[in-house]
Amino acid sequence: MSGISVILMSTLVLGGLYLLMAAGLTLIWSTLRVFNFGHGALLMFGSYLTWSLLNQAGLPLVVSILGAVLAMALIGAAYEFLLVSPFIKRPGGDMTVMVATLAATMLLQSGAQLIWGPEIKQLPQLGSARIEIAGAVAQGTQLVTIVLAPLLVGVLAYVLKRSSVGLAVRALEQNRDHAQLLGIAPRRVYLAVVMIAVGLATVAGALLGSMQFISPAMGADPLLRAFVVLAFGGAGSLPGTIAGAYAIGLLEAVTTYHFGLSWSPVLVFLAMIVIMLVRPEGLLRSRVRAA
Amino acid sequence: MRALTWASWPAFAVVLVVLPLVFTDPAARLLLILMAMYGMLAMSWNLTLGFAGIFNFAQIGFFGIGAYTTGILVTKTGVEPWLAIPISGVSAVLASLVAFLPVLRLRGIYVGLATYVFSQLCIYLVLGQAGLTGGSNGIVGIPRLTLGDTSLRADGRIGYYYLAAALLFATVVLVRLIVNSTLGKSLLAIRDNETLAVSRGVSRVRQHLIVFMAGAAVAGVAGSFNAFLNGVVSTDIFGFGYLTLLLSMIFLGGSGSVYGPLIGAVVVTLVSDYLRDAGAWRDIVIAALILVVLWIAPKGLAGLSRQALDRWGRPTSARETS
């Protein structure tokens, strides 16, 4: 039965990574009504920053990750200020924001290439803990991912439910005009949301950078998976995203185990198309509207 | 006004014919060829992206599918090379039917997600079918197009230039026809007020499907041309590089106008060539250019030039209104 436990273990790791990416995208989508195509590049930049803090500034690994999260949150603030808010109010602004975030991806990718050069980098394993359940082994970064991702997103969901910021986020999500009438300043909420989302992406970047290698293009794949998660679980709802992330993780783990690495993305995408065709309103909730 | 528009067609054709006689240097000719090819792609993409307002990211996939169709046909089956060009257009149209599936039931940004994933999926399919597509090595040794005994490469690629120019001219005619037809008007109506347009009897799915297929056909032909021009096809063609390059052309030039993307194609090709030795700086400059245009001139260069023309033509009224 080691096949099943291996699949489950990899589901938890993949699902956790996708969750960190998709939760941020969902949050941005539900409040700002735009998609951030630069999320993968921000993940990559966060990964490089962690590497720099660790290897060039000589900080301990955990401190490096925290530092990178803080620095990236600031970059996220600039990102919101320069790329999202100037366009969001224009007619057809969602498309403009999309193009602007694609341009940002270009900037970040070439910037990373200039700053960190072409040689491949990697972060060390996060811890040396190791558990073995029914023949499947999870250790180091994998174990951290399994625990940390749902924990962070769970805390986020809790905060969104309980705090006043969360209330403002949900108010904007439901009715932007009405929320503004009630005295909620959308700009501030937008800023907070983008900073949180970029912070989560940075954590994903640090985890990914220690499981694989760091390269300027490393964000493309996680971004693609996060898109599928959003289409699957319903962009705009955090519980839907959590379920979607682990569903895609499971689908990918199963198809990789049985059909190999090159067919797994094809099957995942086909599943996504079928679901979109059969039940767009069920999986995407009521949020399908002419944006 | 109407007479002016009609006079502009022969003028445009004459310019296209004369250009390579002015720029005889092979490097300059190659640039002209690239401008024409990118112009085709950008204009056809803008049909869905700008005029129909569909978040279509599959266009780059259609371009690649056209290139791979040509590559496979001429290296594996020995089809007459010239015949491969229309066949590639057809195969891109068939692919567009698959990519259109999400557009049936989804709206707005979700279409963007699904079509973006479609383009990326093409890469995995190509890598998965390595026996047919050469996998990550790509397809090499695509024969050059010849006319009689002369290669289109001869005399500084003049043959390729005229082929590209003819294709570009046909694309411009096609896009003008679509935009000025009832189809084009209904597309604008759907984009700007879908509920009203549908209540007046416009079928969203049918109109969007037609324009989707038309755009895909042009992209497939452009992909085929690209395969013959380079002699190789690789998965780079589906990649992020082409996607951002073309989007920057469309939005730099102005997605709201017919000729904007063509202007953008000319400008971005020139900038990109000027900075070809600058490595990563090239992308930084192009990205910065897009952002600056988005910030200060949301209608792109075409919008700017129209503004300038208006001001120049009607100085007083322009001042009054502004």
At B313, the pLDDT band (50, 70, 90 cuts) reads: low
Which segments of chain B does DSSP mark as H helices, in order? 2-22, 26-46, 59-72, 81-105, 108-128, 130-133, 154-180, 182-192, 194-199, 204-230, 240-253, 260-274, 280-296, 300-313, 315-321
Tell me how far apart the alpha carbons of residues B38 and B229 are, in angstroms, rounded to a whole number: 13
**For residue A108, what pLDDT is reported?**
93
Judge whether B290 is closer than 8 Å to chain A, CB to CB. Answer: yes
**For residue A50, what pLDDT is reported?**
94
Residue B2 has pLDDT above 60, yes or no: no
Q: A127 in the Ramachandran plot: left (φ > 0), alpha (ψ -120 to 50) or beta?
A: left
Of residues B212 and A271, the one with the higher pLDDT is: B212
At B195, the pLDDT band (50, 70, 90 cuts) reads: confident
**For residue B71, what pLDDT is reported?**
92
At A168, the pLDDT band (50, 70, 90 cuts) reads: confident
Output the DSSP codes for B105-160.
Answer: H--HHHHHHHHHHHHHHHHHHHHHTHHHH-GGG-B--PPPPEETTEETTHHHHHHH
Judge whether A228 is closer than 8 Å to chain B, CB to CB. Answer: yes
Largest Cα–Cα distance of chain A, in whole Å? 58
When mean pLDDT is compared across A37-46, B56-65, B313-322, the lowest value belongs to: B313-322
**For residue B318, what pLDDT is reported?**
41
* Cα–Cα separations (whole angstroms), residue A218 to A28, A215, A235: 21, 5, 23
**For residue B1, what pLDDT is reported?**
45
Please name which of A216, A217, A235 lies closest in space to residue A226, comparing C-alpha atoms: A235
Residue A47 CB-half CA count within 13 A: 32
Cα three-residue angle B124-B128-B134, rounded to 5 degrees? 105
What are the chain B neighbours of A45 within 8 Å (beta carbons)?
A: none
- In Å, how far is B40's CA from the nearest CA of chain A? 20
CB atoms within 10 A of CB B318: 13
Please name which of A199, A189, A241, A242 lies closest in space to residue A31, comparing C-alpha atoms: A189
Check A105 against B124: CB less than 8 A apart: no
Average pLDDT over residues B29-50: 93
Average pLDDT over residues B237-266: 87
Residue B286 has pLDDT above 80, yes or no: yes
**For residue A282, what pLDDT is reported?**
46
Residue A87 has pLDDT above 50, yes or no: yes
Per-residue pLDDT of B114-127, as tens digits, reads 888 888 888 888 88
Residue B240 has pLDDT above 90, yes or no: no
* Cα–Cα separations (whole angstroms), residue A276 to A265, A279, B193, B257: 16, 6, 24, 32
B179 three-class SS: helix
Judge whether A142 is closer than 8 Å to chain B, CB to CB. Answer: no
Of residues B10 and B63, the one with the higher pLDDT is: B63
What are the chain B neighbours of A273 within 8 Å (beta carbons)?
A: 101-102, 114
Tell me how far apart the alpha carbons of residues A103 and B283 are, in angstroms, rounded to a whole number: 9
**For residue B11, what pLDDT is reported?**
83
Check A280 against B105: CB less than 8 A apart: yes
Residue A79 has pLDDT above 80, yes or no: yes
A79-85: long-range contacts, CB 8 A cutoff, minimum separation 24 = A79/A38, A79/A42, A79/A104, A79/A194, A79/A198, A80/A190, A80/A191, A80/A194, A80/A195, A81/A191, A82/B291, A83/A38, A83/B291, A84/A32, A84/A34, A84/A190, A84/A194, A85/A187, A85/A190
**For residue A163, what pLDDT is reported?**
82
Average pLDDT over residues B261-267: 92
Q: What percent of chain B has pLDDT over 90?
A: 32
Cα three-residue angle A95-A229-A73, rounded to 5 degrees? 65
Q: Determine the residue type at B65.
A: I
The answer to whether A93 touches A87, Cβ cutoff 8 Å, is yes
A107, A269, A291 ranked by CB distance to B109: nearest: A291
Tell me how far apart the alpha carbons of residues A199 and A45 are, in angstroms, rounded to a whole number: 11
A58 three-class SS: coil
**For residue B139, what pLDDT is reported?**
87
At B4, the pLDDT band (50, 70, 90 cuts) reads: low
A92, A110, A289 ranked by CB distance to B283: nearest: A110
A236 three-class SS: coil
At A234, the pLDDT band (50, 70, 90 cuts) reads: low
Check B128 against A263: CB less than 8 A apart: yes
What are the chain B neighbours of A227 within 8 Å (beta carbons)?
A: 113, 116-117
Per-residue pLDDT of B198-215, as tens digits, reads 888 888 889 999 999 999
pTM for the model stands at 0.86
Please name which of A13, A61, A65 lies closest in space to residue A200, comparing C-alpha atoms: A65
Cα three-residue angle B120-B122-B124, rounded to 5 degrees? 80
Residue B74 is given by DSSP the state I
Tell me how far apart the alpha carbons of residues A211 and A123 are, in angstroms, rounded to a whole number: 8
Average pLDDT over residues B217-231: 94
Residue A240 has pLDDT above 80, yes or no: yes
**For residue A283, what pLDDT is reported?**
58
At A281, the pLDDT band (50, 70, 90 cuts) reads: low
Structure tokens at B243: 């996607």
B264 three-class SS: helix
Residue B40 has pLDDT above 90, yes or no: yes
**For residue B164, what pLDDT is reported?**
93
Q: What percent of chain A has pLDDT over 90?
A: 31
Tell me how far apart the alpha carbons of residues A47 and A61 are, in angstroms, rounded to a whole number: 12
Residue A31 has pLDDT above 80, yes or no: yes
B49, B106, B291 ranked by CB distance to A288: nearest: B106
Residue A271 CB-half CA count within 13 A: 21
Per-residue pLDDT of A139-159, as tens digits, reads 788 888 888 999 999 998 888
A89 three-class SS: coil
- In Å, how far is A222's CA from the nearest CA of chain B? 12
